[in-house]
Chains A and B, each alone.
Chain A
Amino acid sequence: MMLSRVRWRVGVTATLALSAVAVPRSLFAQGLRGWTGTTIQAVDLRPFQLTSSGCPSSATCYVQGDDVTSVVGTQDLSVTAWGFGPQGLSATLYARGRTGFGSEAPWPRSGDHFDALLAYVQLVRGGWTVRAGRQEIRSGLGFSSFDGGSASWRRGPFNFEGYGGRSLARGLRDPANEALRGIEDFVPDQSIYLWGGSSRVRLRTTSATLRYQREILSDRSGLASERASLDVTAALPRVRFTGAIDWDFGLERLGKSHLTALTPFADGRWTVSATVRRYVPYFSLSTIWGFFEPVSYTETQARVGWSPVSRVGLWMSGGRRSYGDAEVTVVLRPLEDTGWRGEAGGSWAVSSAWRLDGRYEVEWVPGGFLSSADASVRWSPLERVSMAVTGMSLQQIEQFRVGDGRARGVGFSIAADVTDRLSATGGASVLRHSMSDGGLASPWNQSRAWTSVRVRVGEDPGLANRRGEAGR
């Protein structure tokens, strides 16, 4: 199986390379847009080890193991090229390579050395858009990646879309039966095929998209998922509504949903929003998790943002959460089924060179309590250079974990647009953890460092607002 993955990846890479060689005129004559980024991250920490010796009050406990350093390098390449001759034809590639640099503790996914995140050709002609290759659908159902084809047709306010192909594991870019083998139980032997469609209408400032999506095992022996979603936005003169709801046909239940009303007033200096949200996790039917029937929670949330002057922004939010009946017998006292969340923050652009940001968050939900704060000071001595110092502190009490603890950390970062097309960022942080419950576990201190260099090619207006800024 591993061999087939390697063959497939080599095949994709070779195809792309041959395409580049076969049509050099297109790559240079018409247009090329993209960027490449190189990132190196490192963390130093002491992983936990479960032990039965020396535990103060139980048979086993966690202690800190030896100090380990984990380093990972990531190389991204995102390119869109067009001008292959036929008008509207373009090719897109977003590839990522990773490697761990001899780390004692491998970075998550660092063993997955190559991912073609996106790799497709696209033809836009009139109201039609047709794609073939590795692509991604972003919708109210979340992110769905697949190798296949899609076609959409737009006429006036209407847009219709259909797509299908081999499904890729969520959050990964490999077929689920291959990507999860060895790290997940009950992985299907066969591929999963995905197909779906959507219809969209936009009337003035109101948009609605209805989507249906189904994933089936390649031998048709079972479903992986069958869901539908409706996403709506409506920008009325004073209020913007966003709402979404999805339905899981596989588990015959309502999925996630939310309705948010947001209104700015006083010339936009105030923003108020209210949200009612229902959350229930989504699991593929190829796992047992969905059949364990997780319960949903409903949260009502209110938010206020205030910008008293142009350089100052303040905001706060609060929400109450209520879980559904878990329908389980609980020994002794039951767990909480309600929770609260609150958050407040602000930013102050003292001058064009100085900026202060701060945030405080408190959560009191079933399973834990969290109180955390962070603040940063950013200094931009030059238009293209910024530096930031960040501090954070948290207290965390978790009912089901190794214990309660506090942490304090400080970090430094720097970002520079070396040229119009070259930017670099880097930073380091340390976090010191102290346990507060009598030694059930050892502190989990960490030191981190990272650096990243990004080079842009061509014009990409969407990146205009993402130029380097330290302390993001």
Chain B
Amino acid sequence: MRRRSGVRAVGGAAGVVLAVAAGALALAGSPGGASQEDPFPHADHQGLFPVCSGCHAGVADGEPDRYYPPPGQCVGCHDGVDEERVTWTGASARASNVIFEHVDHASELEGAGDAALSCETCHSDLDTGRMSVDGAEELDTCWSCHAHERVDHYEASAADPCVSCHVPLAESGLDGARLRVLPAPEVHAGDEFLLVGHGPSAEAELGRCATCHVQDQCVDCHVDGTQSSIAALPVAPATMDFPPLESSYPVPSTHDVQGFEAAHPVTDGATCSTCHTSDDCASCHLTPLPDVAAGLPSRSESTAPGAALESAAPATHGSFFFVETHATLAAAEPSTCATCHTESYCVDCHDGPSDGGYHPPGFVSLHPSSAFGQAQECASCHNTAAFCRECHQEVGLGSTGRLGPGYHDAEPLFLLRHGQAARQSLESCASCHQQTDCVQCHGVLGAFQVSPHTEDFDARAAWARSPSTCLACHVSNPVGGGP
């Protein structure tokens, strides 16, 4: 009977050791052992206590309140006379995320016919003795029986899930100091885990995530924390001093493709809202935002900061020659431009900028050759009659209705040679001359009645489309019949 109780005591002590060891394992994360300073100098009391259960009686009895001795027990020696007084207010059972009870463990060993474990089996080095407890649990002892089927303690296994030994972290009661040193498994390293790894894992094995994580951590990064896998994670109790995760938003490979900024069609924002707030969208998109963008949480609504995008011109804008090529881009895909630019942005230049800026300095002196050569299409912004001609007339260069020497004096026979120049750059002619100037000679009632049409001119088609214009030069239907 005495022997049996002794076995129980040893088994109970071993259970204490295992519990602490397992807890330490969960906290320190190194299967080789944890470094946690022993709050009680066991080595200094070597020889004073014959058995562990003298102080840790509750371990064997399954009474957590008596896992540690009461403070008054120290006063027996540390009375200030024989030994100096100590200030120790007592201890309670350490919180742990390991499902372990010493009594149950001892019973299981006994039921299995295994030998009971001594305290030092787990709590100290067997070679140095029972009182060499230093807080660094001998975790290999645990692994000798409880080793996973895999080498890596953190590797996922359907047959050996975390929940078989661990409670969800939110229920563990671990304090902040211990939470801060929770280990990160190797599989968590690298951006790929964040980008593509952890999501499916969470969907498939939420319990595994819950072993080390709480919902509060997910929404440190996730802008939209309403996903089912996040919502299913336990929330950290208010009393739990949980350190926030440092938010990180690596760029997915899907975003790192040519033209992504211009073409990222989305039908719903569920995927986007993992990392992006509506503020991100607004950094480029004009408000009011598109429906999908407006549906994303705003930065003020989210606990996560989001990727915090800043507007940047797309790659096309960085070209040396963007000014010259933007017209076709705008014509082919105007909605892309409209993402960032208001129409006033276009009109501001194309309707004659009020504060200059488009043309190079001194352009008013440069413009004749540019206008004649049509390197730039003046009519994109300017009305030939209401802008060019009006200005030319103001400075004395507009046509006065007479066709004689003057402006074209540099080319004395210009009138006889003007046909080719006119056909080559009729817009330039129209910037000074009114139509009646030409009709003076080219009209059927004009001085010379010179036809301005080529041999291929289809008079019937012209008459069919715009008879009133034909009548500007022809007094009647030029293709037969009256007007």
Contacts and interface: CB of A to CB of B under 8 A. Distances in A.
Given A138-B331, A243-B328, A370 B263 contact: no
Contact of A242 (B332, B400, B410, B467): B332
Q: Which 7 A-B pairs have the closest CB atoms?
A: A171-B383, A305-B320, A328-B419, A48-B396, A462-B341, A78-B344, A452-B355
Interface in A95-109: 96, 105-106, 108-109
A200 B332 contact: yes
22 contacts: A35-B344, A48-B397, A60-B406, A202-B263, A226-B465, A231-B328, A231-B331, A243-B328, A250-B466, A282-B379, A330-B419, A331-B416, A331-B417, A335-B424, A368-B373, A370-B366, A370-B369, A396-B369, A398-B372, A399-B410, A402-B409, A461-B284
Contacts of B346: 136, 138
Given A207-B333, A431-B365, A452-B355, 19 more contacts: A33-B287, A92-B343, A96-B354, A108-B386, A139-B331, A142-B380, A171-B381, A223-B466, A231-B328, A244-B331, A289-B430, A315-B321, A335-B417, A335-B420, A363-B373, A400-B421, A402-B410, A454-B355, A462-B340
A54 interface: no
A124 B288 CA distance: 10
Interface stretch (B30-38, B71-79, B247-255, B387-395): B387-395
B287 A31 contact: yes
Contacts of A454: 355
Contact of B332 (A60, A222, A233, A252): A233
B368 interface: yes
Interface in B304-361: 311, 313, 316, 318-321, 325, 327-336, 340-348, 350-352, 354-357, 360-361
A287 B469 CA distance: 6
B325 A461 contact: no
A279 interface: yes
A96 B382 CA distance: 16
B367 to A, nearest CB: 10
A472 B328 CA distance: 23
Contact of B347 (A136, A289, A295, A329): A136
A202 B411 contact: no
Contacts of A83: 288
Residue of B335, B406, B411, B472 ringed by the most chain A CB atoms within 10 A: B406
A351 interface: no
Most buried by A among B291, B327, B360, B369: B369
A90 to B, nearest CB: 6
Nearest to B335: A159
Nearest to B349: A466
A35 B413 CA distance: 53
Interface in A294-310: 294-295, 297, 303, 305
A399 B411 contact: yes
B267 to A, nearest CB: 9
Interface string B413-447: 11011111111111110100011101100100000
B356 to A, nearest CB: 7
B259 interface: yes
Contacts of B263: 202, 204-205
A213 interface: no
Question: Contact size class for A?
Answer: 35 or more
Given A321-B373, A394-B362, A94 B385 contact: no
Given A50-B400, A461-B282, A461-B286, A450 B318 contact: no
Contact of B311 (A252, A394, A461): A461
Contacts of A291: 452-453, 457, 462, 469-470
Interface string A305-338: 1000000010101000101001111111011010
B396 A47 contact: yes
Contact of B424 (A217, A286, A367): A367
B461 interface: yes
A44 interface: no
A286 B423 contact: no
A159 B263 CA distance: 14
Interface stretch (A1-9, A12-20, A177-185): A177-185
Given A223-B465, A365-B372, A433-B365, A242 B409 contact: no
Contacts of A289: 426, 430, 435
Given A205-B259, A209-B331, A460 B286 contact: yes
A142 B347 contact: no
B394 to A, nearest CB: 5
Interface in A124-173: 124, 126, 136, 138-140, 142-143, 154, 156-157, 159, 169-173
B410 A400 contact: yes
Contacts of A112: 386
Contact of B407 (A78, A105, A208, A402): A402
A161 to B, nearest CB: 9
B130 interface: no
Contacts of A45: 395
B321 A186 contact: no
Contacts of A196: none
A118 interface: yes
Contact of A341 (B287, B291, B311, B375): B375
B287 A49 contact: no
Contacts of A273: 319, 321, 325
A113 B314 CA distance: 38
A458 B287 contact: yes
A258 interface: yes
B343 A279 contact: no
B395 A48 contact: yes
B424 A327 contact: no
Interface string A393-405: 0101011111110
A440 interface: yes
B384 to A, nearest CB: 8
A450 B386 contact: no
A285 B425 CA distance: 17
A271 interface: yes
A222 B466 CA distance: 4
A232 interface: yes
Given A222-B465, A374-B360, A396 B328 contact: no
B256 interface: no
A136 B343 contact: yes
Contacts of A237: 258
Contact of B422 (A90, A292, A462, A463): A292
A354 interface: no
A85 interface: no
B283 interface: yes
B347 A118 contact: yes
A34 B344 CA distance: 9
B468 interface: yes
A37 B355 contact: yes
A334 B329 CA distance: 39
A130 to B, nearest CB: 15
Given A62-B406, A359-B360, A39 B354 contact: yes
Contacts of A292: 422-423, 426, 438, 442, 452-453
A207 B379 CA distance: 26
A264 B397 CA distance: 45
Contacts of B467: 221-222
A326 B424 contact: yes
A397 B468 CA distance: 39
Contacts of A139: 331, 334
B424 A205 contact: no
Contacts of B227: none
Contacts of A287: 435, 469
Given A233-B333, A242-B325, A411-B361, A117 B347 contact: yes
Contacts of A221: 467-468
Contact of A250 (B452, B454, B465): B465
B285 A461 contact: yes
A118 B380 CA distance: 17
B369 A183 contact: no
A11 interface: no
A323 to B, nearest CB: 5
